[in-house]
C-alpha cells in the first residue's frame, strides 16, 4: 500500500534540491509539495483525473499487486490528496494518513475499519452531534456499543473498560463547549490497557495542538473547518500509526469515501496559510472573550485561553493558543438568545466554523438539535448557549456587531 509520509519525504527532498528537510511548521506547510512535472510549475497543479494509465501489461499487474508505489485510481489515491495527506502527516508529526470527502466520512470510516461486531467504544460524552448520532443510532445495528465518560470525571474511565473495549474516542477542545480534555492522561490509559486512542483535533488544528505527542494513535480532522478556512469545501482526514492507517485505507478504497482531487488541491493550498490565519483567529477570539466576560448581559464565557476557563492550565500545556471558538450564555435564556440572533448584522448565522467570516450558531437548535435535552445538558449545552467562530474581520467590527445585538 502507498503509505503517505514515506514517499512524501522522498519527494520533498527532491523539491528542496536535496537541501536539509525543513523542521518548522510553517515551512513544512508551504514546502511539502509534489515533485515537479515536465512543465516545472512553481505551484502544484490540479490532477483532475479519475484513473492513471499503465506502461504495459506487466506494469498494470505489478501496480495492482502493490509491488509498486503508484497511483491507480483516484478512489485509492491521487497526487493532490497525497500532497494534502503528506502535509498533514508532517504537521501532526505522524506516519501515514488517508483523506476523506468530509469530516464525518473520516470519523465513520476510521471507526468502521477498526471495529468489529461486539466491540465497545469509550468516549467523552461531549462530542460533535453527528458523531454522537453515529454511536447512538447506527453502531448498535452492527453490535458496536459505547459508554460515555464525563469530562469532569476522567478518573471513571478505567472503570468503564470491559474485555470488548477496543478504542477511546475524544475531542479537545470539545464542540461546542470548548472544554479541554487531558490528552496525556487519555494516552496513558489507552497505552496501559492496549486501547486505540482516537482524537478529533479539528477545533485546534495541527498548528495549535498535536495529539500524537500526548499518546494518540490516530488524529481526525474535519478539513471543512480551519484547514480550508474559507468555507469552500467539505473534507476530512485521518492520520496516525501506519498499521492502523493501512486498515483504514483498505476499508476506504473499497467503500469509496475518498476526497476529490479538486478539494484536496484547495486544501493543500489553504494549509500554506494555516499558521498565519490561526494566529489571527486566536488573537481575535481572545479579545472577544475578554469583552464578553465584562458584559452585563452575559452569564458566562468559555474560551480555553481565558484565565477563568476551568481547564486554563491544561489548555496552556496542550495548546499553542486558544482556537477560534468562543462559547457564552446570554442572560434570559432562549428568549434573549432569539433576539440576539435576530439583531446580528455582520456575523453569519450558519453552522460552520473556522471560516474567515465570523459565524454565530445556536447549538441547541442546530448542530446538537438531534440530542435530547438531557443529552444536551450532559454535554454542557444550555438552551441559551451561543457559539461564535471568530473570523478574520477587524476585531472592532466583530465586537461592535455583538455589542449592538446584546443591547
Ligand atoms: C468536532 C467535529 N468533528 C467532525 C465534524 C464533521 O465534519 P464535516 O462537517 O466536515 O463532516 C465537525 C463538524 O462540525 C466537528 O465540529
Backbone φ, ψ for residue 120 (5° rounding): -130, 135
Q: How far apart are CA 197 and CA 181, in angstroms?
A: 13
All structural domains of the chain with their residue ranges: 4-271, 274-406
- Residue 340 CA, chain-centre distance (Å), reads 29
Q: How far apart are CA 221 and CA 8, in angstroms?
A: 20
Say if ligand 1 is within 6 A of residue 100 CB.
Answer: no
Say if ligand 1 is within 6 A of residue 171 CB.
Answer: yes
Check whether 400 has a pLDDT greater than 80.
yes
Q: How far apart are CA 374 and CA 263, in angstroms?
A: 38
Say if ligand 1 is within 6 A of residue 103 CB.
Answer: yes
Right CATH number for 4-271 from 3.60.150.10, 1.20.1260.10, 3.40.50.2000, 3.40.640.10? 3.40.640.10
User: 231: which 3 cell numbers?
Assistant: 468555507
Look at residue 19 in the predicted model and tell me its pLDDT: 53
Look at residue 13 in the predicted model and tell me its pLDDT: 32
- The candidate with the shortest Cα–Cα distance to 119, out of 155, 166, 173, is 166
Atom of ligand 1 nearest to the CA of 203: 1
Q: What is the CA radius of gyration of the chain?
A: 22
Check whether 119 has a pLDDT greater than 90.
yes
> Using 50, 70 and 90 to split pLDDT, how confident is the model at 381?
confident
**Least confident residue range of 20-29, 203-212, 383-392:** 20-29
Say if ligand 1 is within 6 A of residue 102 CB.
Answer: yes
- 51-55, 333-337, 371-375: range with highest mean pLDDT: 51-55
Nearest CA to ligand 1 atom 9: 103
Nearest CA to ligand 1 atom 8: 103
Instruction: Please choose from 202, 266, 355, 368 the residue to mutate so as to test ligand 1's pocket, defined by most ligand atoms within 8 A of CB.
Output: 202
Check whether 217 has a pLDDT greater than 70.
yes
- The candidate with the shortest Cα–Cα distance to 326, out of 294, 350, 293, 351, is 293
Say if ligand 1 is within 6 A of residue 355 CB.
Answer: no
Domains 4-271 and 274-406 share a fold: no
Look at residue 366 in the predicted model and tell me its pLDDT: 80
> Using 50, 70 and 90 to split pLDDT, how confident is the model at 5?
very low
What is the per-residue pLDDT across 244-303, written as a single tens digit (0 to 9) for each?
A: 999 999 999 999 999 999 999 999 999 999 999 999 999 999 999 999 999 999 999 999
Nearest CA to ligand 1 atom 1: 128
Say if ligand 1 is within 6 A of residue 389 CB.
Answer: no
User: Does domain 274-406 fall into CATH 1.10.10.60?
Assistant: no
What is the per-residue pLDDT across 186-198, written as a single tens digit (0 to 9) for each?
A: 999 999 999 999 9
Amino acid at each position: 500500500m502507498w503509505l503517505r509520509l514515506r514517499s512524501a519525504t522522498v519527494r520533498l527532498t527532491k523539491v528542496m534540491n536535496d537541501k536539509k528537510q525543513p523542521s518548522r511548521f510553517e515551512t513544512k506547510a508551504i514546502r511539502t509539495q509534489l515533485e515537479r512535472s515536465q512543465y516545472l510549475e512553481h505551484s502544484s497543479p490540479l490532477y483532475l483525473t479519475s484513473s492513471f494509465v499503465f506502461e504495459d501489461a506487466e506494469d498494470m499487474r505489478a501496480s495492482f499487486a502493490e509491488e509498486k508505489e503508484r497511483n491507480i485510481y483516484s478512489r485509492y489515491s491521487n497526487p493532490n490528496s497525497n500532497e494534502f495527506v503528506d502535509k498533514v502527516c508532517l504537521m501532526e508529526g505522524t506516519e501515514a494518513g488517508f483523506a476523506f470527502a468530509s469530516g464525518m466520512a473520516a470519523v465513520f470510516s476510521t471507526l468502521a475499519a477498526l471495529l468489529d461486531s461486539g466491540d465497545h467504544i469509550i468516549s467523552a460524552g461531549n462530542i460533535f452531534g453527528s458523531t454522537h448520532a453515529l454511536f447512538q443510532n447506527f453502531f448498535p445495528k452492527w453490535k458496536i456499543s459505547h459508554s460515555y465518560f464525563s469530562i469532569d470525571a476522567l478518573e471513571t474511565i478505567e472503570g468503564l473498560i470491559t474485555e470488548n473495549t477496543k478504542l477511546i474516542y475524544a475531542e479537545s477542545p470539545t464542540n461546542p463547549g470548548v472544554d479541554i480534555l487531558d490528552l496525556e492522561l487519555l494516552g496513558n490509559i489507552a497505552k496501559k490497557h492496549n486501547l486505540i486512542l482516537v482524537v478529533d483535533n479539528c477545533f485546534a488544528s495541527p498548528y495549535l495542538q498535536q495529539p500524537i505527542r500526548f499518546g494518540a494513535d490516530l488524529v481526525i480532522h474535519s478539513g471543512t473547518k480551519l484547514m480550508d478556512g474559507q468555507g469552500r469545501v467539505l473534507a476530512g482526514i485521518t492520520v496516525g500509526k501506519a498499521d492502523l492507517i493501512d486498515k483504514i485505507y483498505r476499508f476506504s478504497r473499497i467503500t469509496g469515501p475518498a476526497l476529490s482531487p479538486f478539494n484536496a488541491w484547495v486544501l493543500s493550498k489553504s494549509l500554506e496559510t494555516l499558521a498565519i490565519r490561526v494566529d489571527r483567529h486566536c488573537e481575535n477570539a481572545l479579545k472577544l472573550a475578554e469583552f464578553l466576560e465584562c458584559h452585563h448581559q452575559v452569564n458566562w464565557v468559555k474560551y480555553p485561553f481565558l484565565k477563568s476557563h476551568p481547564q486554563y492550565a491544561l489548555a496552556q500545556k496542550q495548546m499553542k493558543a486558544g482556537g477560534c471558538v468562543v462559547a457564552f450564555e446570554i442572560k434570559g435564556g432562549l428568549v434573549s438568545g432569539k433576539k440576539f440572533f435576530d439583531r446580528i448584522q455582520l456575523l453569519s448565522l450558519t453552522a460552520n466554523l473556522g471560516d474567515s467570516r465570523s459565524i454565530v450558531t445556536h447549538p441547541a437548535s442546530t448542530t446538537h438539535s438531534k440530542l435530547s435535552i438531557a443529552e444536551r445538558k450532559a454535554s454542557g449545552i444550555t438552551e441559551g448557549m451561543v457559539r461564535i467562530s471568530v473570523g478574520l474581520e477587524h476585531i472592532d467590527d466583530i465586537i461592535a456587531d455583538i455589542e449592538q445585538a446584546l443591547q
